[in-house]
Amino acid sequence: MKQRFKTHMAASFLVILGLLSGCGGGDNSASPTPVAPPTGPQPVVQKALIIEIDGVVYSALQQAIADASVPALSQLKIAPAWTGGMTGTITEQPTTGIPGWASLLTGAWVNRHGVQWNTAEQPLQASTLFEQFKRKLPAGKTAAIASNSPYLRLLQKDVNQGYLDAAVDCAEADSCVADRTSALIAQDYDLVVAQFGGVAKTAEYGGLLGDYSKTLSATSVAVGKLLAAIAKRQQVNPNEDWLVITTTSHGLGRYGNADGLQSPENKTAFIAINKEAPALPAIGKSTLAPDEDLYQLASITDIAPTVLRHLGASITPALYAMDGQALQGSPSVRPFRYAAGKDRTSIALSWAIEGTVNRPIELLRDGQPLVTLPSDARSYTDGQLGADASGLLSRQYTLVADNTLVSTLAQINYVKPVVLAPTLVNGLRSYFTLDALPALDSKNASTLAPFASDANAGKLVNDDNFMDAWKGMALQVDSRVYNAAGATGYRLTSPVDITASPEFTVGFWFRTDATCSQGVGNGSPILVNKNWNSGINAGIAIGLFDSCEVRINLGSGSGRVDIRGNFLSAAQWSYVALAIDRPNLKMYSYFFDPIKGATVNSTSFSAAIASKLSGLGLGFSLNEDGTGRYYQSWSESPRGAMDFNELATWDRLLTAEEVATIFQSGRPLSTLTP
C-alpha cells in the first residue's frame, strides 16, 4: 500500500479532551507561515471535513436559503435526509444530540453503537470512522472539535487507542470550534470533524424564533470560515481533494426543543455536500410532503462510509458493519429492511434499488457469502439460521449491488419448533379465532362487536400471525373510523364477566401500526374495561405508549398499580397475556415479541383493587376504553389501526410456559380443540 501521508508521531498534536477548553470567541495563535507550493505534478491527496450542526430544522434551513441568510451553506448541494433510526424497530433511537453524534461517527444506529440516551456515560460499541480510517491509513491525522463536551467524552476510547490525534473541547463556544477547526485544517490534518451546538441551544431557550434564525446564519458564517481555510490550503496544495459534508444529528420538536420523539420535525435532517453524490436523492428539494417516506432518502449513517470511500479507506464487504452506504455509489439501495418470519425460525430481507444493477447481487451473513441473487432480486428469506436453541439471535447481513454496500443487523426471537401446550384447553372460557365477521366465540359464551352500531371500526386483514399451514384472517380495529359522537372500537361482552372469576387470564395476538411512535404521551387503549380518563379509576387498562411500550394498569378508584417496560415492535405480531390471581393479590403479564424478545413481569395489588377489577362492568373494549369516549377526551392521542387475533379468556392462571407455546408454535388454539 502506498504511503499517502507524511510519517508523524501520533502524539505530535494530541489534545486530550479539556486541554483547549474555554477557547472563547477568538484564536490567539499565530497564523501559519505560508509555504510556497511544490513544483511539478503531485499525487492527489484526499482529505475530508465533516461539520455537524445540532438542531437544524430542515424547513428553517430552506427558509434561510430562500432569504439568502446562509450563503456559505448555500454553496453546497443540500438534500433532506433522516435520523433517529427506523421508527418502531430496534434501530429506533432518541432524536437527540449524543445518539445522533454516535450514528454520524459510526455509520450505525443504536442497536450497533449502543448509545441509547442523551448522556456520554455509555460505551460506544461500534467502531468509529476514525478507527476505520486509521486501520487502513495509520499515518493519517484525525481530529474532532466539539462545542459540547459530552460529545468528546464518547470518543475517549479513540483517543486512548490512538485513532483520534486531536480532541478539542470548546466548552459551548461555537466561535472556538470555527477557530480551532481552521487551525487544524491548516496543520495538515486529513480527517476533521467539527460540531456546533449553538443553533440547538438557542432554540432550547427561545424556540424557533428570530434568535434561532440569527444563530443559524452565524453558524453559516462559521462554516464559511472553514471553507475559506480549505480554499487557502488548496492555493498552496492544489493536489488536495477535499470532501466537505455538513449535516445535523437531529431536528427539533414543534416547540423548538430536542424532545427526542420520532416526529417528522425531529427525524428530518439534511446532508450538504461539495461533491457529486449519485446516491443522495432529493438534492435541492425545498419541502417534503407530510406523508413522504423519509426512508427513501439518505440518512446520517451514510456519511461515515461516504467519507471513508473518499479517503481511500473503504471497508471490505466481509467486514462491513454500517447501516449507511457511500453516497458516491451507484445504484443506491434504500431501505434495506428485515422482518422476523412468521415461523419465527427465519429472517425475511427486502430492499429497494434506485438505478441499474449490472451484476448479480451478493448477500453475506456475518461476513461470509450466503447467496448470489439475480440483479433484479429485491428480497430473500434466510431459513437456515443455524441456531441450536430458542432465544434472541442476531445475524448481520451485507448486500453488495455493484459497488454499493449496505448492511443491517437483524434480530429475531428465534424459537425451535414447538407444539401448543395441551393444557391450554383447560379453563378456556371464550375463544375468537377472528377469521370471519361477525366474530363468533367458539365456546358460545360471549360476543365481540363494534362498540357503536353506527361506527363499525373493524375489518378483516389476511396477513395473520400463523405459519402457512394455518394461515387465516385477523381483525383490524381502526379508531379513525368513528361515529358522530366520536365513539369507535370493539367490545367483548359476556353474561358472566370473566373478571368475576377468582383467577383469570386474557390473551391475544396484537400488532400495531406506527401510531406508537407518534408521541402517544397519554396512551392509546388496547384492551380496557374502565374509564381511562385516569389510571386510578376502577378497572383494567392495557395501553400503548411512546416507543411501542405497552403498559398495564389496575385501579380501584382510590389507588392503582402498574406494570411498565413491555416494548413491542411496530408492524410485527406479538402475543400479549394478562393473568390475575385475586386470592393472592398478584398480577402477571406476559409479552412475547418476535424481535424484542420475551418480557415476563408481576406485581402485587390491594384488596380494594381486587374488588374493582370489573371496572364499568360493561366488558372489555378494543382500541377504546370502557366509556367509548377515550379518543374524544384525549384528542392528542393519535387514532390508528390495531390488529387482533385469537382473542381468548381462561378462568384460571396460565403459566409463562403455556403462553410461550402459544407464541412459539405458530399454531392457532383451534388445533387443540375438536
CATH code for position 600 = 2.60.120.200
The pLDDT tens digits of the residues spanning 508-518 come to 999 987 667 66
Q: Is residue 34 part of a domain?
A: no
Q: Is residue 230 part of a domain?
A: yes
Lowest mean pLDDT across 44-53, 98-107, 248-257, 463-472: 463-472
Does 12 score more than 60 pLDDT?
no
Mean pLDDT of 523-531: 94
Contact 644, 528 (CB under 8 A): no
Residues 355 and 444 in one domain: no
The pLDDT tens digits of the residues spanning 426-436 come to 999 999 999 99
Does 157 score more than 90 pLDDT?
yes
Contact 154, 124 (CB under 8 A): yes
DSSP, residue by residue, 190-242: SEEEEEE-HHHHHHHHH-SSHHHHHHHHHHHHHHHHHHHHHHHHHHH-TTEEE
* Last residue of one domain, picked from the residues 365, 383, 414: 414
* Last residue of one domain, picked from the residues 297, 328, 359: 328
pLDDT for position 293: 84
* CATH number of the domain encompassing residue 257: 3.40.720.10
Q: Is residue 32 part of a domain?
A: no
Residues 355 and 433 in one domain: no
pLDDT for position 9: 30
Q: Is residue 578 part of a domain?
A: yes
Residues 666 and 573 in one domain: yes
Strand partners, 555: 539, 560
The pLDDT tens digits of the residues spanning 102-124 come to 999 999 999 999 999 998 888 99
* Last residue of one domain, picked from the residues 296, 328, 360: 328
* CATH number of the domain encompassing residue 372: 2.60.40.10
Q: Which long-range contacts does 198-202 make (Cβ < 8 Å, 24+ apart)?
A: 198/147, 198/174, 199/53, 199/54, 199/55, 199/56, 200/54, 200/55, 200/97, 200/250, 200/252, 200/258, 201/54, 201/55, 201/172
Residues 516 and 567 in one domain: yes
pLDDT for position 15: 44
Helix, strand and coil percent figures for the chain, each rounded to 5 = 25, 30, 45
Residues 572 and 497 in one domain: yes
Q: Is residue 267 part of a domain?
A: yes
Give the whole-number percent of the chain exceeding pLDDT 70: 92
Mean pLDDT of 459-479: 90
Residues 461 and 320 in one domain: no
pLDDT for position 2: 36
Residues 467 and 553 in one domain: yes
Alpha helix segments (H runs only) across 444-592: none
Residues 112 and 94 in one domain: yes
pLDDT for position 383: 85
Residues 222 and 143 in one domain: yes
The pLDDT tens digits of the residues spanning 228-258 come to 999 999 999 999 999 999 999 999 988 788 8
* Cα–Cα distances in angstroms (integers) from residue 73 to residues 58, 144, 214, 227, 307, in the given order: 13, 20, 14, 10, 19
Model pTM greater than 0.75? no
Domain count, the chain: 3
Mean pLDDT of 353-361: 95
DSSP, residue by residue, 70-107: -HHHHTSEEEEEE-S-STTSTT---BSHHHHHHHHHHS
Residues 318 and 248 in one domain: yes
Q: Is residue 1 part of a domain?
A: no
Q: Is residue 531 part of a domain?
A: yes
The pLDDT tens digits of the residues spanning 283-337 come to 988 888 766 789 999 999 999 999 999 999 999 999 999 999 999 988 999 999 9
- Return the higher-pLDDT residue of 416 and 200: 200
Residues 58 and 157 in one domain: yes
Confidence of residue 471 (pLDDT cuts 50, 70, 90): confident
Full domain range(s) for residue 470: 426-672
Q: Is residue 587 part of a domain?
A: yes
The pLDDT tens digits of the residues spanning 373-397 come to 999 999 999 988 988 888 999 999 9
Residues 234 and 270 in one domain: yes
Does 674 score more than 60 pLDDT?
no
